[in-house]
Amino acid sequence: MSLRERKRRERQRTILLAAADAFKAKGVDGARLEEIAEKADVSLGTIYNYFPTKDALLLALVTLYRTEAREERLPLMENPPADVCETFCQLYSHLIDGALKYLDRAIWRHGQVVGLVSSWEPGRQESWDNEQILIKDQEALLLHFQAQGRLPADLQPALWATTLHAVGLFWWQYFLANDTFSADEAKQRLREHFQGLFAHLVIQPA
């Protein structure tokens, strides 16, 4: 990566972190681009060079989370726990914690609406691509356990990866929709759901 490109990415990240702080403090609607520019120590024009709208900023923050989440879960991917269920519980616990690192529940709800109606194609495409990467990572974990003889040889990893992803999305959406439902409760429900799914699948060591 060239020095110019590295500086460009650093500036973009600085803008996004300033936006995250502003969104948390005042909400997406209440945050002003002028305030974000001042906090990021850039001109308003610089922000528009990167992000044409405030909604584009929000979508880029979602992409930032998903990109960093993949980098941060690499140790788990490379050296997963011996227990199949525990591996996926840790994966989704990490995903939930990471999702709330930059954006709170209310901002995520706003972001999902933006994702449906936004015309900023780069942000929408990156979000879709990162979701597919997450499913592929889960498939890789299932293949790992299948190769170890911990899962049946006739298990279809691609299908099960999609199923596990759907379970994760369900409890994430439930968390977003219910203000009295905590992140810890979402993790516990996911654990219970995964335990039920894997109870009759996992082959115990002899």
Mean pLDDT per 10-residue run, the chain (206 residues)?
Answer: 81 92 90 93 92 86 85 93 96 93 88 62 68 94 95 95 96 95 97 94 73
Count: domains in the chain: 2
Residue 206 covered by a domain: no
pLDDT, one tens digit per residue, over 83-130 is 999 999 999 999 999 999 888 998 898 887 776 545 555 556 776 788
Provide the pLDDT for residue 170. Answer: 96
Boundaries of domain holding 41 = 1-50
Provide the pLDDT for residue 82. Answer: 93
Provide the pLDDT for residue 121. Answer: 56
- 112 and 134 share one domain: yes
- 32 and 127 share one domain: no
Provide the pLDDT for residue 116. Answer: 54
**Rounded to two decimals, what is the model's pTM?**
0.84
CB 39 within 8 A of CB 18: yes
- 62 and 155 share one domain: yes
Provide the pLDDT for residue 138. Answer: 97
Name the H helices within the chain. Answer: 3-30, 33-40, 44-50, 54-72, 74-78, 84-102, 105-117, 121-147, 157-177, 183-198
- 92 and 179 share one domain: yes
- 154 and 182 share one domain: yes
CB 187 within 8 A of CB 94: no
Provide the pLDDT for residue 171. Answer: 96
Residue 159 covered by a domain: yes
Provide the pLDDT for residue 22. Answer: 92
Of the three residues 16, 34, 50, the one that is the final residue of a domain is 50
Of the three residues 12, 28, 50, the one that is the final residue of a domain is 50
Provide the pLDDT for residue 7. Answer: 86
Residue 171 covered by a domain: yes
- 164 and 99 share one domain: yes
- 142 and 178 share one domain: yes
CATH number for 17: 1.10.10.60
CB 160 within 8 A of CB 182: no
Residue 204 covered by a domain: no
- 19 and 81 share one domain: no
- 69 and 87 share one domain: yes
